[in-house]
C-alpha cells in the first residue's frame, strides 16, 4: 500500500511513543514493560501536505515465554508486506542486539524501502551513539531521534515523505470507488450480493467469513461504479490471529483507496466503540461517509423510532454529525438501493467546486458580522476566501492573524458552509492563512 508506513523493532525500543508522536495522539499504550503492544494500532499522520497511515506493531521477539510471541512475529511480517515504507526502530542506549540482526534479515527479504531510526537520542550531543548501527548494513543514512521529546523527527519526516511511492494519478480517475466497511457479521457481503442479485461473496453466520477485500464492478440500472466488500474489523483485543490482522490491514487499505465508505451497523446493536473507530478512520482519511443501519426489519418500531435512532447516532458521531443515515434490510431489500444512491450523491458532492466570487460574496459578510474572538487584545480580520484545488473540498481563509483562530471558530465557519452547500457525509478542510 503506497501510503502505509509500518513501525517495526524488538520490544521496548519506543515504537508506541514514536507512533504517538507521528499521529499526534496518545492512542498507543506506552509502558517500560517489554511487549506492552501486543496487537497493532493504526492512525493518520501528515507532513508536508502528504497524509499517510501508520501502523504500530508489537515488539518482534523469539525464544520468550510470551504466548503472543508467534502471532506478533507474523503480524510484523504481514505489516511489512503491505507497507510502502518500513521504519525500523533500534535503541541507542542498548546498541545492536541479536534480535536487531534477525529483523534486518526480514527487512532485506521484504525488498521494501526502509529507514533505520536510532531512538533515545535526546540531544545532538548524543548523535555519536548512532555510529554503531551503520554495522547493520542498511545503508549510509540513518536518523537519530528522540520519540519522547521530538528531537530529529522533522528531518526524519522530510525523508520519509520523499520515500513514499508517488501516487498514480490514474487511480483517481474513472469509476467511483465505494467500500462497504464495518464490524464482522453486520451484513456487508449480503448487501453486495443483494445489489448484484447473485451469491458473489461467501455469506455465513460466522463472523469474519470475508478475510480479504473483494472488488466488484457494478453496472445496472444506469449505475457504473466499483464496490468493495471488506473484511470485518474486530475490536483490537479480538485480533488474535494473523489472518484477522491481515484483514484489518486490507480494510484500512480499502478505506484509503475509496471515494465513499458505507459503514454498516447492526440495528440491534447500534453504533458501538469499534464502529466509531471505523467511522473516524473514514473521516480522518477524508473519504465520504454514509451510515447504513442494517437489519432494520428486526427492530420493533413506531413513527418515532427512526428519528430517535438517528438522534442517538448523531450523539455518537459528534461533532461530525452531518452524515446521511439510511435504514435498510438485506433480507427484505428495503432501501438497499437508496443506500447506494446516497453514496453516489455523496461522491458527486465531494467533487463540488464553488467559485471564489461566490465564496467571498456569501461568507465575507458572515465573518465580518461574527469575526473570530479577540485574542491577546488583537482582532482577526478575514479578507479573502477561495477553494483550493484538491480531491477533498478545501477552503482557504486569508487573514492577518491566522494563529489566533481557534477550533470553536473553525467549527462555526464549517457549519455556515454546510448550511449553504450540501456536504452531508463529506469531510471538508479549512485553512486559515496569512493574507
Output the average pLDDT for the chain.
81
DSSP 157-219: HHHHHHHSPPP-GGGGSSS-EEEEE-STTSSHHHHHHHHHTS--S---SSTT---S-EEEEE-
Mean pLDDT lowest among 238-242, 272-276, 292-296: 238-242
Give the 3-state secondary structure of residue 397: strand
- Count Cα atoms within 13 angstroms, Cβ side, for 359: 22
Residue at grid coordinates 525500523: 88
pLDDT recorded at residue 46: 87
For 341-374, what is the HEC assignment? HHHHHHHHHHCCCCCHHHHHHHHHHHHHHCCCCC
In this model, does residue 269 exceed pLDDT 60?
A: yes
| Residue 218 CB contacts under 8 Å (≥ 6 apart), including other chains | 195, 196, 224, 225, 226, 227
In this model, does residue 278 exceed pLDDT 90?
A: no
Give yes or no for a cis peptide into 31 (omega within 30° of 0): no
Alpha carbon of 11 to those of 6, 40, 80, 138: distances in Å?
A: 15, 13, 17, 20
Residue at grid coordinates 458572515: 366
Greatest mean pLDDT range, 22-31, 43-52, 178-187, 305-314: 305-314
What digits encode the pLDDT tens for the residues 34-44? 333 333 467 88
In this prediction, residues 13-34 reach a mean pLDDT of 69
The percent of residues in the chain predicted with pLDDT above 70, rounded, is 81
d(CA 247, CA 210): 8
d(CA 208, CA 204): 9
In this model, does residue 253 exceed pLDDT 70?
A: yes
326 - beta bridge partners? 292
In this model, does residue 209 exceed pLDDT 80?
A: no
**Which band of pLDDT confidence, cut at 50, 70 and 90, is reported for residue 187?**
confident
In this prediction, residues 26-30 reach a mean pLDDT of 46
**Which band of pLDDT confidence, cut at 50, 70 and 90, is reported for residue 219?**
confident
In this model, does residue 355 exceed pLDDT 70?
A: yes
In this prediction, residues 253-276 reach a mean pLDDT of 88
d(CA 230, CA 264): 11
d(CA 110, CA 107): 5
pLDDT recorded at residue 285: 87
pLDDT recorded at residue 60: 56
In this model, does residue 262 exceed pLDDT 90?
A: yes
| Residue 303 CB contacts under 8 Å (≥ 6 apart), including other chains | none
In this prediction, residues 87-102 reach a mean pLDDT of 92
In this prediction, residues 271-283 reach a mean pLDDT of 88
Q: For the chain, what is the total number of helices (H) and then of strands (E)?
A: 11, 15
**Which band of pLDDT confidence, cut at 50, 70 and 90, is reported for residue 215?**
low
37/242: higher pLDDT: 242
**Which band of pLDDT confidence, cut at 50, 70 and 90, is reported for residue 234?**
very low
In this model, does residue 382 exceed pLDDT 70?
A: yes
Instruction: Name the nearest CA neighbour of 101 among 68, 62, 71.
Output: 62
DSSP 83-124: -SEEEEEEETTT---HHHHHHHHHHHHHT--EEEEEE---SG
pLDDT recorded at residue 284: 87
In this model, does residue 69 exceed pLDDT 80?
A: no
The percent of residues in the chain predicted with pLDDT above 90, rounded, is 43
In this model, does residue 314 exceed pLDDT 80?
A: yes
247/373: higher pLDDT: 373
Instruction: Output phi, psi for 52, to 5 deg.
Output: -145, 160
Instruction: Output phi, psi for 119, to 5 deg.
Output: -85, 165
Q: Nine-digit cell at 88? A: 525500523
Mean pLDDT lowest among 110-114, 222-226, 357-361, 371-375: 222-226
Amino acid at each position: 500500500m503506497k501510503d502505509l508506513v509500518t513501525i517495526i523493532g524488538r520490544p521496548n525500543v519506543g515504537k508506541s511513543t514514536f507512533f504517538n508522536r507521528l499521529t499526534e495522539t496518545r492512542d498507543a499504550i506506552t509502558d517500560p514493560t517489554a511487549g506492552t503492544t501486543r496487537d497493532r494500532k493504526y492512525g493518520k499522520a501528515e507532513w508536508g501536505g502528504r497524509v499517510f497511515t501508520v501502523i504500530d506493531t508489537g515488539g518482534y521477539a523469539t525464544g520468550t515465554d510470551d504466548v503472543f510471541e508467534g502471532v506478533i512475529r507474523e503480524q510484523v511480517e504481514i505489516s511489512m508486506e503491505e507497507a510502502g515504507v518500513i521504519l525500523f526502530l533500534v535503541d541507542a542506549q542498548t546498541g545492536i542486539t541479536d534480535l536487531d540482526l534477525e529483523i534486518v534479515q526480514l527487512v532485506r527479504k521484504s525488498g521494501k524501502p526502509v529507514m533505520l531510526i536510532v531512538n533515545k537520542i535526546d540531544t545532538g550531543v548524543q548523535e555519536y551513539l548512532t555510529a554503531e548501527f551503520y554495522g547493520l548494513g542498511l545503508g549510509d543514512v540513518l536518523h537519530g531521534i528522540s520519540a519522547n521529546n521530538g528531537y530529529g523527527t522533522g528531518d526524519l519526516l522530510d525523508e520519509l515523505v520523499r520515500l513514499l511511492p508517488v501516487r498514480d494519478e490514474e487511480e483517481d480517475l474513472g469509476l467511483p470507488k465505494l467500500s462497504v466497511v464495518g464490524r464482522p457479521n453486520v451484513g456487508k457481503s449480503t448487501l453486495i450480493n443483494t445489489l448484484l442479485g447473485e451469491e458473489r461473496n461467501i455469506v455465513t453466520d460466522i463472523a469474519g467469513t470475508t478475510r480479504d477485500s473483494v472488488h466488484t464492478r457494478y453496472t445496472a440500472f444506469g449505475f457504473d461504479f466499483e464496490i468493495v466488500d471488506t473484511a470485518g474489523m474486530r475490536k483490537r483485543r479480538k485480533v488474535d490471529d494473523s489472518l484477522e490482522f491481515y484483514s484489518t490491514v486490507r480494510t484500512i487499505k480499502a478505506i484509503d483507496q475509496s471515494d465513499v465508505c458505507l459503514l454498516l451497523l447492526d440495528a440491534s446493536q447500534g453504533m458501538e466503540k469499534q464502529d466509531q473507530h471505523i467511522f473516524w478512520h473514514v473521516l480522518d482519511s477524508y473519504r465520504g461517509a454514509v451510515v447504513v443501519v442494517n437489519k432494520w426489519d428486526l427492530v420493533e418500531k413506531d413513527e418515532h423510532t427512526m428519528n430517535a435512532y438517528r438522534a442517538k447516532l448523531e450523539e455518537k458521531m459528534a461533532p461530525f454529525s452531518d452524515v446521511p443515515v439510511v435504514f435498510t434490510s438485506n433480507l427484505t431489500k428495503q432501501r438497499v438501493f437508496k443506500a447506494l444512491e446516497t453514496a453516489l450523491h455523496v461522491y458527486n458532492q465531494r467533487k463540488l467546486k464553488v467559485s471564489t466570487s461566490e465564496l467571498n460574496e456569501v461568507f465575507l459578510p458572515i465573518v465580518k458580522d461574527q469575526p473570530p474572538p479577540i485574542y491577546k487584545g488583537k482582532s482577526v480580520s478575514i479578507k479573502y476566501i477561495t477553494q483550493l484545488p484538491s480531491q477533498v473540498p478545501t477552503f482557504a481563509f486569508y487573514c492577518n492573524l491566522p494563529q489566533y483562530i481557534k477550533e470553536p471558530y473553525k467549527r462555526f465557519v464549517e457549519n455556515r458552509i454546510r448550511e449553504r452547500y450540501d456536504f452531508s457525509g463529506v469531510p471538508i478542510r479549512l485553512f486559515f492563512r496569512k493574507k
